[in-house]
Amino acid sequence: MKFFIDTANLDQIEEAQALGVLDGVTTNPSLMAKEGITGKENILNHYRNICEIVAGDISAEVIGTSFEEMIKEGEELAALHPQIVVKIPMIKDGVKAIKYFSDKGIKTNCTLIFSCGQALLAAKAGATYVSPFIGRLDDVSTDGLLLIDEIRRVYDNYGFETQILAASVRHTMHVVNCAKIGADVMTGPLSAIEGLLRHPLTDNGLKKFLEDARSMQV
Ligand code: G3P
């Protein structure tokens, strides 16, 4: 299972990278805006900086919603760095754009996936990744994990190579359950990744081991 961090914050990306378990980064316009990045050149530069920190796939989202706009923006983003994955929303022109990029060998991440049918369509168009938003489904009393399970079954039935990138992950149990179901990738905040290492019995056990080691005066 690949671990991506879902942020545009360079400090958090560096911290996750330092842990040694990071496989990539996902961003979206809201995450970029949160960092206070303004102006096209600064935005493009920020993506370049992320690519310098992490040696994996980095999703950069298009803002246009017409086929022509998405192609223009996507080509510009893909030319920035070989690690860039063009993130495209699940809309009609988005599906056409995914097919266009797939035919050209440019990686894509189809975002804002909330149904199995949408995931099927994205896979048919040749998306590299599909991003079901599990936390946002949970927010409206719909089990996001069930969607991951459904997509896994459909993709396995037909051998689709599109990778299931569980997005909108909010906490450690999302990560663990996605791993049990067989999501190819999860993208979440640093807190969800670091949360995996915490257990009070580990802390208590280490404390006792260190006390006993000190009593031996080694
Ligand atoms: O990158 C998209 C997705 O992960 C957003 O997560 O927490 O805003 O629902 P969230």
**Ligand 1 pocket, 28 CB below 6 A?**
yes
Q: What percent of the chain has pLDDT over 90?
A: 99
Residue type, 187: T
Cβ of 133 closer than 6 Å to ligand 1, yes or no, is yes
208 is catalytic: no
Atom of ligand 1 nearest to the CA of 31: 1
- Residue 151, pLDDT > 90, answer yes
State residue 217's pLDDT score.
Answer: 78
Q: Is there a contact between 27 and 59 (Cβ–Cβ < 8 Å)?
A: yes
Does pLDDT of 83 surpass 80? yes
Assess whether pLDDT exceeds 90 at residue 35. yes
Closest ligand 1 atom to the C-alpha of 135? 9
Say whether pLDDT at 74 is over 90: yes
For residues 139-166, give the mean pLDDT: 98
pTM: 0.96
Q: What is the pLDDT of residue 34?
A: 97
Q: In angstroms, what is the span from residue 7 Cα to ligand 1's centroid?
A: 9
State the DSSP string of 95-111: HHHHHHHHHTT--EEEE
Task: Give the number of the atom of ligand 1 that is nearest the alpha carbon of residue 187.
Answer: 4
| pLDDT on residue 218 | 64
CA gyration radius, the chain: 19
Task: For residue 96, give the amino acid letter.
Answer: K
Q: What is the mean pLDDT of residues 73-100?
A: 98
pLDDT for the residue 44: 97
Nearest to 12 by CA among 196, 191, 195, 198: 191
Q: In what helix (H) or strand (E) does residue 3 lie, and over which residues does it extend?
A: strand 2-6
C-alpha span between 100 and 125 (Å, rounded): 9
Ligand 1 midpoint to CA 134 (Å): 9
Model pLDDT for residues 101-125, shown as the tens digit of each residue: 999 999 999 999 999 999 999 999 9
